[in-house]
Amino acid sequence: MSGSGTASRGKRIAALLLVVVSLAWAGRTGPARHFLASANDFVRYYRALEETSLRPGFWDRVALSLVLASAECPKTPCAKLTSS
């Protein structure tokens, strides 16, 4: 029974990575490069959480990875919104 859980987890990760790669491949503009960096951060945090002794569930790892990846400093400064 545990083997089917591992296969299911692998399919979810593969599907998530397929979506990330598809979206990243859609454009090579500045925002697309920022998205690739954010996706890389997400995957890095997801894998790190997977290896912790806490063993959070799938959705917990996804949520925590999203929060951690979005909390990082942006690679480029944000444009200021000012009225001309």
Angle between helices 2-25 and 58-71 (to 10 degrees): 30
Averaged pLDDT of the chain = 76
Q: What does pTM read for this prediction?
A: 0.54
Tell me which of 19-23, 46-50, 51-55, 57-61 is least confident: 19-23
